[in-house]
């Protein structure tokens, strides 16, 4: 049996231990180079499925991340990063962009006023909660989902 780091057996065992102890898994996917959405979906799924394999919750997480990233590309043209943090309480997804002025539209959608598409309606349906926070330079749209493990 090969026990070198990166060997599939080692990766599986580490994943199982992390899942048992509920260790936080978090990371960032840089969006500034405008990676293809399919690449983002695969990268996120690979990172979140570590040690758990595919689940319905993982599918929802990828769907919500895809909607948030697509909205940032479509409505701001300035996405910066996708951050994810997985722990026992759930999975937090955050997409940050450099367009803080778009918060009024998001607030209206959150309050039930129809926007230009259904992306945030999907997020609202799937997520336990979601919202927006911003400062002078950036805006972050976040969603909290059930844990994928």
Q: Which of 12-21, 51-60, 77-86 has the highest mean pLDDT?
A: 77-86
Q: Tell me, what's the pLDDT at 50?
A: 62
Beta bridge partners of 85: 26, 92
Residue extents of the structural domains in the chain: 23-145
Find, among 94, 93, 96, 81, the residue nearest to 139 by Cα: 96
- Domain 23-145 matching CATH 3.30.70.20: the answer reads no
Q: Tell me, what's the pLDDT at 21?
A: 47
Kindly report the number of other CB atoms within 10 A of residue 55's CB atom: 15
**pTM score:** 0.74
| pLDDT exceeds 60 at position 24 | no
Taking only the tens place, the pLDDT of each residue in 35-68 is 888 888 888 888 887 656 557 788 898 899 999 9
Determine the 3-state secondary structure of 20 from DSSP.
helix
């Amino acid at each position: 049996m090969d026990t070198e780091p990166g060997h599939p057996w080692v990766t599986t065992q580490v994943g199982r231990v992390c899942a048992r102890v509920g260790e936080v898994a978090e990371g960032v996917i840089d969006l500034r180079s405008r990676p293809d959405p399919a690449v983002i979906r695969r990268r996120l799924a690979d990172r979140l499925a570590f040690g758990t394999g595919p689940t319905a919750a993982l599918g929802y997480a990828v769907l919500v991340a895809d909607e948030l990233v697509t909205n940032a590309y479509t409505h701001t043209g300035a996405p910066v990063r996708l951050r994810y943090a997985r722990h026992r309480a759930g999975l937090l997804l955050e997409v940050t962009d450099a367009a803080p002025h778009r918060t009024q539209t998001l607030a209206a959608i959150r309050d039930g006023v129809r926007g230009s598409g259904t992306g945030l309606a999907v997020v609202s349906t799937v997520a336990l909660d979601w919202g927006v926070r911003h400062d002078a330079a950036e805006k972050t749209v976040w969603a909290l989902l059930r844990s994928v493990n």
